[in-house]
């Protein structure tokens, strides 16, 4: 039997728009990673578009879904995660980006976001988070 991982998440966010629906995350929210869940983010430097997938049972399934959701002939997987969070940051030069992830016990979106911003800032200016995704069934954070 697989062990449940309880991961406290410090989501201090305003409303998040996702397909016309607003979601509010609470700072007391706890994410439960049940079994094996995967998330992935795809990005197209030519178009600046991205796609994502979460709550998949395998890495390959999450990556395939993220690529299907990303328009652009040059779309590629830029990050993935197993039982955790992954984030994509972009700056002024959209051909450069940064990614971050955090997984397992103690995983937080804060670390994933911070790491993505740091990696992006090494390559371009005005870094910002495009998206942060949790591998389990939680709506992604789109600033």
CA distance 91 to 93: 6
Residue indicated by tokens 């983010």: 41
Dihedral sign for Cα atoms in the order 45, 51, 52, 58: negative
* Cα 113 to Cα 30, 58, 71, 94, distances in angstroms: 18, 23, 23, 17
Q: Which of 50, 62, 63 is nearest to 136 (CA)?
A: 62
Mean pLDDT of the chain: 79
74: tokens are: 């040059």
* Domain range list for the chain: 5-134
Confidence of residue 34 (pLDDT cuts 50, 70, 90): low
pTM for the whole thing? Answer: 0.76
pLDDT attached to residue 115? 97
Confidence of residue 112 (pLDDT cuts 50, 70, 90): very high
Dihedral sign for Cα atoms in the order 118, 119, 122, 123: negative
């Amino acid at each position: 039997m697989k062990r449940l991982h309880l991961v406290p998440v410090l989501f201090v966010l305003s409303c998040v728009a996702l397909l016309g629906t607003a979601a509010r995350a609470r700072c007391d929210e706890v994410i439960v990673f049940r079994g094996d869940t995967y998330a992935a983010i795809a990005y197209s430097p030519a178009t600046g578009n991205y796609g994502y997938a979460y709550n998949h049972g395998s890495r390959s399934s999450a990556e395939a879904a993220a690529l299907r959701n990303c328009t652009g002939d040059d779309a590629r997987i830029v990050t993935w995660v197993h039982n955790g969070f992954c984030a994509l940051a972009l700056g002024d030069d959209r051909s450069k980006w940064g990614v971050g992830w955090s997984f397992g016990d103690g995983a937080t979106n804060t670390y994933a976001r911070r790491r993505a911003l740091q990696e992006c800032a090494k390559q371009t200016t005005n870094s910002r988070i495009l998206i942060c995704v949790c591998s389990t069934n939680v709506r992604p954070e789109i600033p």
